[in-house]
Amino acid sequence: MPRRKTPTGWRGLSYLLVLLVIYLFYHLIGEQFRELGGGTKTSQERVPCTVVKVYDGDTFRCRLDNGEEVKVRLIGIDTPESRRNRKAYRDAKREGKSVEEIVRLGKKASAFTKKLIPPGTVVYLETDVQVHDRYGRLLAYVYLPDGRMLNEVLVEEGYATVYTFPPNVKYSERFVELQRKAMKERKGLWAEGM
C-alpha cells in the first residue's frame, strides 16, 4: 500500500506548533531565572551574585540578592579538571596525556579563576536559552565588576577551551575566535601543551 503524502497544511501546522513550544519553553525558563534573581529582570539582563566559593576553573558558588546560593557553570567553555575524577580520566585518554598532566593544568586554570573572582566579588550573571544543566547548576555568562566577561577572559588568556552546546550558543563565534588567537600566541595553558 503506497504511503500517503502529508498535506502541506499539516506541515505548516506542525511547524507552528514546534515554534509555539520553543517560545513557551524559552519564556518559562526566563521566568524561572527571574525568580532566582528575585526581581522582574528579563533573562537578557544581568543578575548580581556574590562569589562564595570557586570550585575550579569553570564552576563556582555565589549568593543572589535574595540570599539563595547557586552553583554556577560557565557557558560555552571548559577548563581542565583540577582533581582526579571520571572526566579527568576521559580527557587524559582523549588528549593522549596523563591524568597528572590534566590535573596540573586544571589547577593552574582554577588558580587563574580564583584570582579573578575571589570570594566576596560581586559578579553579574547572564543566561542563554537553557538555564540549568543536568546537574542542576545554573549556566551563565559571568561578568566581572570591570565589565569583562569571565568566560571570554578565560578563553582569551588560554585557560579554557571552547565547549559550546546548543541551544546555548549566543557567544560561541566570539569564543572560537578568541581561542584561535590564544592558541596562535601560545597564551596560558597553550604554552604548556593544552
Residue-wise DSSP of 76-120: EEE---SS-SHHHHHHHHHHT--HHHHHHHHHHHHHHHHHHS-TT
pLDDT for 83? 87
pLDDT for 29? 43
Q: What is the pLDDT of residues 164-173, one digit of tens each?
A: 999 999 999 9
Q: What is the pLDDT of residues 93-134, one digit of tens each?
A: 988 889 999 899 999 999 999 999 999 999 999 999 999 999
Q: What is the pLDDT of residues 14-42, one digit of tens each?
A: 444 444 444 444 444 444 444 454 433 44
Domains of the chain: 8-192 (2.40.50.90)
> Omega into 167 within 30° of 0, i.e. cis?
yes
Q: Where in the sequence numbering do the catalytic residues fall?
A: 73, 81, 137
Q: What is the pLDDT of residues 40-87, one digit of tens each?
A: 344 458 999 999 999 999 999 999 999 999 999 999 999 998 888 898
Average pLDDT over residues 131-160: 97
pLDDT for 180? 97
Four-point Cα dihedral 172, 32, 38, 71, nearest 10: -60
